[in-house]
Amino acid sequence: MARLRRITYLTLGFLLLAYLLVFSGCAGSQNRFIKKTSFRGTHSILITFAGPVDEEWATKASNYRVYEKPDPDIVLKISTIELSTNRQTVILHFEEPLNQNQPHMVTMRGIMTEGKSVGTAIVKVRKLYLGYLFSILIGAMLVQNFVFTKYLGLCVFFGTSQKRSTAVGMGVTFTIVIVASAMMSWFLYQFFLKPFHLDFLQIIVFIGLVSLSVQAVDTILRKVNPMLFKAFGVYLVLVIANCIILAVPLILADNEYNAAESLMLALGAGLGFLIALFLMSSVRERLELANVPPTYRGLPIAFVVAGLFALAFLGFSGMSIF
Amino acid sequence: MCPAVGISTTVMNGLMLGTAVLFVQVCSSCTIAAIKNYIHPRIRIPTYTLTIATWVTVIDLVLSAYAPEAYKAMGIFIKLIVAFAIITMRLEVFACKNTVAMSFWDGLGMGLGFMFGMVTLGFIRELLGMGTLLGHNVLGFRPLLFFALPLAGFFCVGFMMAIFNYVELVFNRRKKRRG
């Protein structure tokens, strides 16, 4: 019976996740005459039309206006335009390489097909959405690891990385709490703070929300699953003292992420913290047995080890996936 | 602890962040000392957090308006003063039991201590990394460029802790010999 319930919960959670992924991915208006848009290589954008377009219209660069979504004022310069023989696909070549991490907006003025106009179209060009989400996840986990490359959450990091079991317990608890609280604060920011122009209250609201959600998890866990509470309850208090839990909502608010992107960033931050704790605790368990000079015993050597890890994580910088 | 590693790359950054922490510590200490009789003991920790958050918002807005350059350099760290354990600890240990004037001096002392630590770290890192102090060229060359990297903060803090440990060790040894 209990197993059945657990399976039901898991399924429900998965469905919710899938719903978020699908629906936030499809957002954005499309003109019906444009079938597909995508990046091609480093310098080009490919546009596929539903029917043949007039060559005279299609090869005129002034009919197109392309910019990165966050900077509508900076218009990208088109060098050449290529039209396929069946006149359905247009390839826009640009003078400079495109920053494919940003969605691009393409405005096409007065599209002409067989001598008549079908109106102006504004389309969004972006990379494969799931790949983009995956790159956010990996980015938050490894490339921009919150502990080793952003230097956040160090108090808790050094406090709980002495034993491997403690480290894993803290990491798992932290991941769960951060996903829950980041999603809540994203919702609150997008639907309450932003529409009512209360952005300046974000610090107060986010920290209040975090302490509330930690308190709620504490109370619920105590009643629902005392065993689990015994294992993870100790770490719940420490979660509030960790500045990553406040940094993630602030980053989400700054970057205007949508629901799926926020989920990925929060998950990446939690998992990245878990990885950092696990690596560090493995080394520190060995250090207990090593012959460390007396002045370096304890925290000083831990700091030096963390510095070496940070140096290693520097190797991830500049890496991009997809 | 986090900003000690992340942004203590120059004396100026250390000084700015130290000032911000000093301001938040003094103001929230005074606030809590003034309203301590009206706080229910069971909700005292959330009250402390919200008080600190309020003062952090104040300093955040002030800095972003009057010192935009420094604000940009420090990025998210100003907002994260909220999560500083020392400030909350000081409110819990001292401000909720003492008068406003006493709390003011206590907060000032704590803040100055933090500022001193940050400035020392910034001094070492700026001198060794860039060969400059407060932007002025002092040495004329760069002894160890490595210290200008943000991650060198880990090593720097580690070395400083080791030095303090060494001093303590020597002190204890002398005391034992005498006694």
pLDDT tens column, A226-264: 887 887 777 777 787 788 888 899 988 888 888 888 999
* Percentage of residues of chain A with pLDDT beyond 70: 90
Phi, psi torsion values for A297, nearest 5 degrees:
-65, 145
**Cα maximum dimension of chain A:** 86
Sign of the CA dihedral running A255, A256, A258, A263: positive
What is the average pLDDT value for chain A, to the nearest integer? 82
What is the average pLDDT value for chain B, to the nearest integer? 85
CB A65 within 8 A of CB A83: no
Confidence grade of residue B53 (pLDDT, cut at 50, 70, 90): very high
Q: Among A268-282, B6-20, B38-52, which range has the highest average pLDDT?
A: A268-282
Query: Does the beta-carbon distance from B155 to A304 stay under 8 Å?
Result: yes
Q: What is the pLDDT of residue A269?
A: 93
DSSP 3-state assignment of B57?
A: helix
Query: Does the beta-carbon distance from B155 to A151 stay under 8 Å?
Result: no
Say yes or no to pLDDT of A276 above 90: yes
Q: Which residues from A are below 8 Å from B45, CB to CB? A: 211
CA-CA distance, A294 to A307, in Å (whole number)?
Answer: 20
Q: What is the pLDDT of residue B23?
A: 92
Confidence grade of residue A22 (pLDDT, cut at 50, 70, 90): low
Q: Measure in Å the smallest separation between the Cα of A321 and chain B Cα atoms.
A: 24
Q: What is the pLDDT of residue B109?
A: 92
Residue A94 exposed, middle or buried by CB count within 10 Å (0-12, 13-18, 19+)? middle
Q: Express each pLDDT in B108-132 by its tens digit.
A: 999 999 899 888 888 888 888 877 7
Say yes or no to pLDDT of A74 above 60: yes
How many interface pairs between A and B have CB atoms less than 8 angstroms apart? 105
* Percentage of residues of chain B with pLDDT beyond 70: 98
Pairwise pLDDT comparison (B142 vs B160), residue with the higher score: B160
Query: Does the beta-carbon distance from A304 to B76 stay under 8 Å?
Result: no
**What chain A residue is nearest to B89 in terms of C-alpha separation?**
A241
Query: Does the beta-carbon distance from A311 to B166 stay under 8 Å?
Result: no
Say yes or no to pLDDT of A150 above 90: no
Q: Express each pLDDT in A96-120 by its tens digit.
A: 887 777 778 888 887 888 777 777 8
**Cα maximum dimension of chain B:** 59
The full set of domains in chain A, from first to last, is 34-125 (2.60.40.1220), 129-316 (no CATH)
ipTM above 0.90, yes or no: no
Contact of A158 with chain B, judged by CB distance below 8 Å, is answered with yes
Say yes or no to pLDDT of A29 above 60: no
Q: Among A17-26, A276-285, B34-43, which range has the highest average pLDDT?
A: A276-285
How far is Cα of residue B117 from the mean position of the Cα atoms in its chain?
Answer: 7
Angle in degrees, 0-180, between the axes of helices B100-130 and B11-35, rounded to the nearest 10: 170
Lowest-pLDDT choice from A142-146, A317-321, B69-73 = A317-321
Q: Which residues of B touch A (CB under 8 A)?
A: 1-3, 5-6, 45-46, 49-50, 53-54, 56-57, 60-61, 76, 79-80, 82-83, 85, 150-155, 157-159, 161-163, 165-166, 169
CB B95 within 8 A of CB B55: no
Query: Does the beta-carbon distance from A151 to B49 stay under 8 Å?
Result: no
Q: What is the pLDDT of residue A30?
A: 53
Which residues, at least 6 apart from A94, have a Cβ–Cβ distance to it below 8 Å?
A43, A44, A45, A66, A76, A77, A78, A79
Q: What is the pLDDT of residue A187?
A: 92
Q: What is the pLDDT of residue B92?
A: 84
DSSP 3-state assignment of B84?
A: coil
Using CB atoms, pick whichever of A203, A247, A295 lies closest to residue B56: A203
Q: Express each pLDDT in A171-217 by its tens digit.
A: 888 898 899 899 999 999 999 998 898 888 888 999 888 888 888 88
Query: Does the beta-carbon distance from A296 to B162 stay under 8 Å?
Result: yes
Q: What is the pLDDT of residue A28?
A: 42
Q: What angle do CA B38, B42, B43 make, to 5 degrees?
A: 65
Q: Among A216-225, B16-25, B33-42, which range has the highest average pLDDT?
A: B16-25
Q: Which residues from A are below 8 Å from B5, CB to CB? A: 151, 154
Contact of A198 with chain B, judged by CB distance below 8 Å, is answered with no
Confidence grade of residue B22 (pLDDT, cut at 50, 70, 90): very high
Q: Express each pLDDT in A117-138 by its tens digit.
A: 777 878 878 777 787 888 888 8
Q: Which residues from A are below 8 Å from B155, CB to CB? A: 303-304, 307
Lowest-pLDDT choice from A60-69, A148-157, B1-10, B161-170 = B1-10
Q: Express each pLDDT in B70-88 by its tens digit.
A: 888 777 888 888 888 788 8
Q: Express each pLDDT in A281-296 by its tens digit.
A: 999 999 888 888 888 8
pTM: 0.76
Confidence grade of residue A27 (pLDDT, cut at 50, 70, 90): very low
Helices (H), ranges, chain A: 2-25, 55-58, 129-138, 154-159, 164-188, 202-224, 226-240, 244-255, 259-289, 299-313
Q: Measure in Å the smallest separation between the Cα of B164 and chain A Cα atoms.
A: 8
Query: Does the beta-carbon distance from A295 to B152 stay under 8 Å?
Result: no
Q: Measure in Å the smallest separation between the Cα of A100 and chain B Cα atoms.
A: 25
Q: Which residues from A are below 8 Å from B162, CB to CB? A: 295-296, 300
CB A232 within 8 A of CB A173: yes
Sheet with A34-40, side-by-side order of all strands: A34-40, A44-49, A89-94, A78-83
Confidence grade of residue B105 (pLDDT, cut at 50, 70, 90): very high
Contact of A155 with chain B, judged by CB distance below 8 Å, is answered with yes
Q: What is the pLDDT of residue A25?
A: 45
Using CB atoms, pick whichever of B56, B61, B150 lies closest to residue A151: B150
Residue A270, Ramachandran bin (φ over 0: left; ψ between -120 and 50: alpha; else beta): alpha
